Structure 1
Amino acid sequence: MPSKELASPLGETKVPLLSRNEEEEEEQDLTRKVWIESKKLWHIVGPAIFSRIASYMMLVITQSFAGHLGDLELAAISIANNVVVGFDFGLLLGMASALETLCGQAYGAKQYYMLGVYMQRSWIVLFICCIFLLPIYLFATPVLRLLGQPEDLAVLSGQVSMWMIPLHFAFAFQFPLNRFLQSQLKTAAIAWVSLFALLVHIFVSWLFVFKFQFGVIGTAATLNFSWWALTVGLFCYTVYGGCPLTWNGFSMEAFSGLWEFVKLSAASGVMLCLENWYYRILILMTGNLPNAEIAVDALSICMTINGLEMMIPLAFFAATGVRVANELGAGNGKGAKFATIVSVVTSSIIGLFFWMLIMIFHDKFGYIFSTSKPVLDEVSKLSLLLAFTILLNSVQPVLSGVAVGSGWQSYVAYINLGCYYMIGVPLGFLMGWYFDQGVMGIWAGMIFGGTATQTLILCLITLRCDWDKEAEKAKLHITKWSDRKQQQLS
């Protein structure tokens, strides 16, 4: 309510001075809040970027060792990694992201005991899912034949895929462990164990390929060692004193409420899968263009740059999910809103920086990968679309992180399906073939039709969100999922 002093001249002279002091205090208070929130955010983002790059480098190193064996071996490893492993990687990673909602909110509500139970439920669900996904590995050769791959490549890729089955089951345990630790801000442990796994991978790759000369099968087997080293490392840290509040041993409670857990995990899996497969479709559509060799080479270079840069937004995706879930679980709706704003602004600034780099060096960065003049010219043409893809991807994953932290996975799955596959893919097809714009048309249609529309919708949902109401929902959610006996004891 306005003060009565406003009606007097004395009051009018006092108000500006008081307002100025209050504005200065508010500015200082806002600066302090931003600084505190940024520290919390980067406490997760920094190690997350490092651990994601370490995991990415394992695949790069494997392909590099395979490349020294021959073109067929390199192609087999690439198909096994990108097609066979890539398919279930996205699904299992998405399903494990349900823990970001459950563990994040439970940690914020100080229901520490339930974090360990949630992780064990996730292990059970993902392990069963791995069993159902086994035919992807067992019948990789006939599937690749149906997709039109040459006989020798289909057979060798199938053999490689069979040797990657232990890696497949490692995902079921490593992804939940990662989310479990991440939700309670144990990110430094994840980074150190990731470094250890990367060193193990380098050593085992040298040992199997150069020392023992096990060939392409040995190259594929190295991923099993490194990913299981990562899994065992995280498990040992968790069990042997790293998480005294949240790990109380194995519990039979993990087998209760599995169906509800499956539904939430499935929604998370579908949500991230639809995003993960979208740009794979872009490469597939480009490969079907007439005389597509140069276009595919140029697009692959751009996608490699985009893939490396995406480690940063994906780290913000994880960090935003944790911060929003923690604040909502603590009943602090305003804190969740503020965490969202800081994360979106920070990621957008980083995106603008990389957008400027691509725009400035649009005709230079292609030299990292190729010296072919036609390919370099095509990369220069595509650089504008690459720049805007990076810019959009600096916002979209953060908003997806908000969705995960808030438990909106099922809604976002429908949004992704509509934007990506009912708008983006058809528009890309029309621009590429009907309007004869080639790879530029396909990519532009999929970016501005699918990604931009999805980002806009998520922005509107986030802006219109009633955060206090979401905090109340989180409280009800925690009550629903928590163990009643444990609640009574507390």
Structure 2
Amino acid sequence: MTREHRAGSIDSSLSQTPTERSPLLPSSKVDENGWSTEFKWLLKNSLPVIGTYLLQNSLQMASIFTLGHLGPTELAASALASMFASVSAWSLAFGTTTALDTLCSQAWTGAHDKTLVGVHLQRALLILAVMFLPIAVVWWNATRILLALDQEPGLALHAGLFLRYLLLGAPAFIAFEAIKKFLQAQGIMQASTYVLMFTSPLNLAINYMFVYVEPFKMGFIGAPLATSISYWVMLLSLLAYIKFVDGRQAWGGWTREALTGWWPFLRLAIPGILMVCTEWWAFELAALAASYLGTIDLAAQSILLTSNSATYTIPYGISVAASNRVGNALGEGLAQKARRASFMALMFAIGFGALNSTFFLVTRSHFGYLFTSDLEVVQRVSYILPLCALFQIADGLAGVCGGVIRGLGRQKVAAWINLFAYYVVAIPLGFYLTFKANWSLIGLWTGLSVALFIGASGECLFLFMVDWYAEVKRTQDRVHKEEDKHHHILEEA
């Protein structure tokens, strides 16, 4: 990809101000890429993103794995703290950074001055910093909150302690997510994968060392402290990649412009938060509900959630690549390329969803033994896995459609669909089937399956109705406005 530096980039190729050099008729852009090109691009760029999220998910799992040998309270506390962190922080940060999927990808190809992408990143980092202040207060008082929610005192105390030490690394984890989006918008998908290929095994080693090995041996608090250090290593490594390898072309240095334009950013970020949190929290509610069903169901639920989270990284990786591809195409003014990219992504979702489904069906009788030797738990997992297999294609379609919608900047559409699917239909239905109709764990998963089919159907229907030429005009109007403002501030400086 061509690198364009800040020097001499004040003139905008998108400026709407006519000059003596302006053509009388606008030039029509032609997309010469075909379906095979789109297939190769998506495959090549999805794989590193899938790897990134698999490795990223392993960071907190390392703490659970390490602390499992200390005792049941420590193991349960680390799992509870991880769930608390996901609900109160990670889901909010991931939702906020969906605005970067739209703004950065569209600005990278739509703006002549590539440093506009860096301004979007700066704005996101400042907004995330403000958001982190109440999150820090909540984490610091997590023990009190968990006690108020009637958690067992020893469990609440350990989970609160875990979160206080994890708080040291939380800003780095959140910033990493935003900077990763900054690079992905430029087509640099592999940077975060390289960083995590180094950080993930390092994290496991530091976790073990801080918990068990002298002279570092700290017991329980060693795990969250090690994870916090790993988060900072991860962030600093990614910044080093930008400085010494690739990605600097979109960074023009810190600017006061980042202190302005927060509301347009939040208009994408707020529905992005709803879009992410509605689904994320629904699955966490299902996990909480399973705790009232008994030990066997709770253990089976843990295995099912872990497994489905792992398989979901495939459509999620495709969705991130597709989001940037669609955003880039809209910024270029190539409506048909954006449309083709979206439909190729949907075909990927169906294909990989079918593979996931086949895997669960073929292995259902023995799958549970990967996690436990308890026959009852294995049988319960085997009983529910066909239902999980059934919704794999819907889960993939919903995830990939969400990515395309982020590329379009239509997060609000996905937010409303998810709110309806999960909180009007799925949660009430799942809880009724589980606790009133006595379907037990199958009731919860039936509700979640219905939500995924509704979400996938609604989002696919929306994408089939999109006027791609109108979306190009809307995108370029926004980029024109942002770039004109950007140039005005640069000229004043």
What TM-score, normalized to structure 1? 0.89
Question: Are the equivalent residues in 1 in contact too, given 2:48–2:193 (CA < 8 A)?
Answer: yes
Match of 2:17 in 1: none
In structure 1, C-alpha distance between the alignment counterparts of 2:414 and 2:33, rounded to whole Å: 33
Match of 1:88 in 2: 89
Match of 1:348 in 2: 350
* One-letter identity of the residue aligned with 1:208: F
CA displacement 1:337-396 (0-9 Å, x = unmatched): 100111110121111012112112211111111222221221111011111232221111
In structure 2, C-alpha distance between the alignment counterparts of 1:487 and 1:245, rounded to whole Å: 20
Please show how residues 7-18 of structure 1 align to structure 2 within 5 Å: none
Match of 2:416 in 1: 414
Match of 1:249 in 2: 253
Please show how residues 349-428 of structure 1 align to structure 2 within 5 Å: 349-428=351-430
Please show how residues 87-486 of structure 1 align to structure 2 within 5 Å: 87-111=88-112, 112-211=114-213, 212-240=216-244, 242-289=246-293, 292-448=294-450, 450-486=451-487
In structure 2, C-alpha distance between the alignment counterparts of 1:468 and 1:445, rounded to whole Å: 37
Question: Are the equivalent residues in 1 in contact too, given 2:368–2:381 (CA < 8 A)?
Answer: yes
In structure 1, C-alpha distance between the alignment counterparts of 2:489 and 2:55, rounded to whole Å: 43
In structure 2, C-alpha distance between the alignment counterparts of 1:152 and 1:69, rounded to whole Å: 14
Deviation of 1:270 (Å): 1.8
* One-letter identity of the residue aligned with 1:228: W
Question: Are the equivalent residues in 2 in contact too, given 1:200–1:229 (CA < 8 A)?
Answer: no
SS in 2 for 1:277: helix
Of 37-46 and 128-137, more deviation after overlay is shown by 37-46
Deviation of 1:67 (Å): 1.1
CA displacement 1:420-464 (0-9 Å, x = unmatched): 10111111122223322221122112311x221111111111111
In structure 2, C-alpha distance between the alignment counterparts of 1:182 and 1:144, rounded to whole Å: 37
Question: Are the equivalent residues in 2 in contact too, given 1:92–1:171 (CA < 8 A)?
Answer: no
Deviation of 1:483 (Å): 4.4
In structure 2, C-alpha distance between the alignment counterparts of 1:316 and 1:63, rounded to whole Å: 28
Specify whether residues 150 and 230 from structure 1 end up closer, same or farther in structure 2 by C-alpha distance, changes over 3 A only. same
Question: Are the equivalent residues in 2 in contact too, given 1:432–1:438 (CA < 8 A)?
Answer: yes
In structure 1, C-alpha distance between the alignment counterparts of 2:471 and 2:34, rounded to whole Å: 22
Question: Are the equivalent residues in 1 in contact too, given 2:165–2:225 (CA < 8 A)?
Answer: yes
SS in 2 for 1:310: helix
In structure 2, C-alpha distance between the alignment counterparts of 1:260 and 1:102, rounded to whole Å: 10
In structure 2, C-alpha distance between the alignment counterparts of 1:337 and 1:275, rounded to whole Å: 26
In structure 2, C-alpha distance between the alignment counterparts of 1:285 and 1:153, rounded to whole Å: 18
In structure 2, C-alpha distance between the alignment counterparts of 1:243 and 1:51, rounded to whole Å: 17
CA displacement 1:396-423 (0-9 Å, x = unmatched): 1000001100011122212211111011
Question: Are the equivalent residues in 1 in contact too, given 2:349–2:393 (CA < 8 A)?
Answer: no
* One-letter identity of the residue aligned with 2:454: T
Match of 2:15 in 1: none
Higher helix share: 1
* One-letter identity of the residue aligned with 1:248: G
Specify whether residues 43 and 411 from structure 1 end up closer, same or farther in structure 2 by C-alpha distance, changes over 3 A only. same
Match of 1:6 in 2: none
Deviation of 1:274 (Å): 0.9
Deviation of 1:85 (Å): 4.2
Q: Indicate yes or no: 2:67 matched with 1:66.
A: yes
Specify whether residues 31 and 387 from structure 1 end up closer, same or farther in structure 2 by C-alpha distance, changes over 3 A only. farther
* One-letter identity of the residue aligned with 1:104: S
List gaps (5 residues or longer) in structure 2: 1-30
Question: In terms of Rg, which structure is larger?
Answer: 1
Question: Are the equivalent residues in 2 in contact too, given 1:84–1:136 (CA < 8 A)?
Answer: no
Deviation of 1:476 (Å): 1.2
Deviation of 1:309 (Å): 0.8
In structure 2, C-alpha distance between the alignment counterparts of 1:468 and 1:361, rounded to whole Å: 45
In structure 1, C-alpha distance between the alignment counterparts of 2:444 and 2:248, rounded to whole Å: 52
Aligned length: 458
Deviation of 1:82 (Å): 1.5
Deviation of 1:44 (Å): 2.3
Of 80-89 and 381-390, more deviation after overlay is shown by 80-89
Specify whether residues 145 and 256 from structure 1 end up closer, same or farther in structure 2 by C-alpha distance, changes over 3 A only. same
In structure 1, C-alpha distance between the alignment counterparts of 2:433 and 2:306, rounded to whole Å: 23
Instruction: Tell me how large the CA RMSD over aligned residues is.
Output: 2.0
CA displacement 1:462-486 (0-9 Å, x = unmatched): 1111111111111112123334353
Question: Are the equivalent residues in 2 in contact too, given 1:322–1:405 (CA < 8 A)?
Answer: yes
Question: Are the equivalent residues in 1 in contact too, given 2:391–2:453 (CA < 8 A)?
Answer: no
SS in 1 for 2:297: helix
In structure 1, C-alpha distance between the alignment counterparts of 2:484 and 2:146, rounded to whole Å: 46
* One-letter identity of the residue aligned with 1:69: L
Specify whether residues 72 and 480 from structure 1 end up closer, same or farther in structure 2 by C-alpha distance, changes over 3 A only. same
Question: Are the equivalent residues in 2 in contact too, given 1:197–1:229 (CA < 8 A)?
Answer: yes
In structure 2, C-alpha distance between the alignment counterparts of 1:84 and 1:241, rounded to whole Å: 32
Question: Are the equivalent residues in 1 in contact too, given 2:83–2:284 (CA < 8 A)?
Answer: no
Question: Are the equivalent residues in 2 in contact too, given 1:49–1:311 (CA < 8 A)?
Answer: yes
Identity of aligned residues (%): 27
Deviation of 1:121 (Å): 0.4
Question: Are the equivalent residues in 2 in contact too, given 1:327–1:336 (CA < 8 A)?
Answer: yes
Deviation of 1:47 (Å): 0.9
In structure 2, C-alpha distance between the alignment counterparts of 1:406 and 1:487, rounded to whole Å: 26
